[in-house]
Amino acid sequence: MLLLLLAVQCLTAQKSQVIDKVVAVVGKNIILQSDVESQYLQYRMQGGAEGTASSLRCEILEEMMFQKLMLNQAEMDSLTVTDSEVESEMNRRISELLGRAGSQEKLEKLFNKTMTEIKEELRRMVKERMLQDQVRASILKGVVVTPAEVRKFYREMPADSIPTVGTEYEIAQIVKKPPVSVEEKLRVKDQLYQIRKRILQGESSFSTMAVLYSEDPGSAKKGGELGFTGRGEFAPEFETAAFNLREGEISEVIETQFGFHIIQLIERRGDYVNCRHILMSAKVPVEALEKAQLELDSVAKMIRNGEMTFEEACSKFSDDDSKMNGGYLVNSAYGGNRIALQDLQDLENYFPEFKNLSFVIGKLQVGEVSDPLPMVTSDNNDAFRLVMVKKKVEAHKANLKDDYWRVQSWALNYKNQETIKNWIRNKAKKAFVHIDEDFADCEFQFDWESSNNKKNH
């Protein structure tokens, strides 16, 4: 979206050289030459453009005609989206743009438009995309693949196109999450109140105290500053406090799922605020962590001695929701239990609960239970866990025995694509479609201007 808006800006800057006109009509919806050029510029900026400029523009126009065809269907089906849904998504995207640009002034200068104009353009684009998504969902509703279709899809795959699947693991865990005491929470809140008092008395600045004490590594080094952020981006308690502050004012201590905060509002512009914060979290007592470690050490010995299975121990002792799934970690991409080592390493960069897991897994044998391992939970609390490699599948060519769930996702994706193509072929014959003569030489995938459409022109 950012690149698309950048492309629009670039075209605006070149408007003296480009004469805009309608290059296609689908039902009641038009496509302008500037629309095509915007998308073309986007692809060029991403470095992914292949083929000649003219062929790429043809591909772009056809994709945009498909989008307008879905928009036309949305109008025929009287589909709607609420203003609040559009505003929420538009604000999220504006917030992302502001974060990248650095400030509202920079964003407006970049696009040579006011914030109101940027919002209006983005609001229209968001609404159209939401309507198109509804149509796409209705087209694909009920599309499933049977086991027979999965096997047929695999048999028909060219041998040289079957991908190699890297080494994968099925991993299970037993997690002990010691609770944070009320006394510890009160201690942290009091410490933040003391920091707030020192700032209000002029003993130190908010930014200096953030550098010294905040546990948010991303903002602490910037004096706690978060940059312009819109509604819906913060935790609810944080957002309520931030948007109720006056510029320069410092909040009371606020508790969220991430810990305790004090917030200082730097500046507010409509539905966006730039503020500083200091985050401190209540820590699990060392004694509680030691107890959890000892308990898991005993559990590991019972599993190794055959006194209970890993599954039984997980059901009895684990404090994590994964116990409902036998402790298995789930591959969010495909929904199965197998996770590639590279995927684990990627997850470590985004989710604290996966930190250092790939290193441990690489050293375990199948069926071997680890010693108790320190970890950080998704809500940033200290804990311990046991992990076991339940199964290891070496790198191999994808096959139905080892990779059925993966092949199933490929088959479903292919069937979805074919369903969409058939829908386009059917609707393109019935809808009014006109394409400008400048694109007469395009080799489109679909017959947009059928004989019936041409008679109607």
- Predicted local distance difference test score (pLDDT) of residue 51: 61
Chain centre to alpha carbon of residue 171: 24
Structure confidence at residue 251 as a pLDDT band (50, 70, 90) = very high
Distance of alpha carbon 211 from alpha carbon 224, whole angstroms: 7
According to DSSP, residue 395 is labeled S
Which domains, and CATH codes, for the chain? Answer: 2-144+415-456 (1.10.4030.10), 167-179+285-394 (3.10.50.40), 182-280 (3.10.50.40)
User: What DSSP character marks residue 335?
Assistant: S
Q: In whole angstroms, give the CA distance from residue 63 to residue 55.
A: 13
| Predicted local confidence at residue 192, as pLDDT | 96
- CA angle, residues 406, 409, 413, in degrees to nearest 5: 145
pLDDT (tens digit per residue) in 170-184:
999 999 999 888 999
Higher-scoring residue by pLDDT: 28, 413: 413
For residues 208 and 223, give the distance between their C-alpha atoms in angstroms, rounded to a whole number.
6
Q: Which range (64-73, 112-121, 191-200, 308-317) has the least confidence?
A: 112-121
Percentage of the chain beyond pLDDT 70 is: 90
- DSSP string covering 16-41, please? TT----EEEEETTEEEEHHHHHHHHH
The alpha helices in 431-449, defined as continuous H runs, are none
Give pLDDT, residue 397.
92
Task: Judge contact between 224 and 214, C-beta under 8 A.
Answer: yes
Average pLDDT over all residues of the chain: 85
pLDDT of residue 292: 95
pLDDT at 194 (0 to 100):
96
pLDDT level of residue 117 (50, 70, 90 thresholds): confident
pLDDT digits (tens, 9 = 90+) for 327-381: 998 877 666 788 887 778 777 777 777 888 888 888 899 999 999 999 988 777 8
- According to the model, what pLDDT value does residue 83 have? 81
| Residue 273, H or E segment | strand 272-280
Question: In 223-325, which residue ranges form alpha helices assigned H by DSSP?
Answer: 236-243, 286-304, 310-317
The single-letter DSSP state of residue 284 is: P
**Total-model pTM:** 0.63
Q: Is the pLDDT of residue 99 over 80?
A: no
Please give the pLDDT value at position 84: 74
Distance in angstroms (rounded) separating the CA atoms of residues 273 and 33: 37
Round to whole Å and give the CA distance between 299 and 293.
10
DSSP conformation class of 293? H
Q: Give the range among 39-43, 192-196, 274-278, 303-307 with minimum mean pLDDT.
A: 39-43
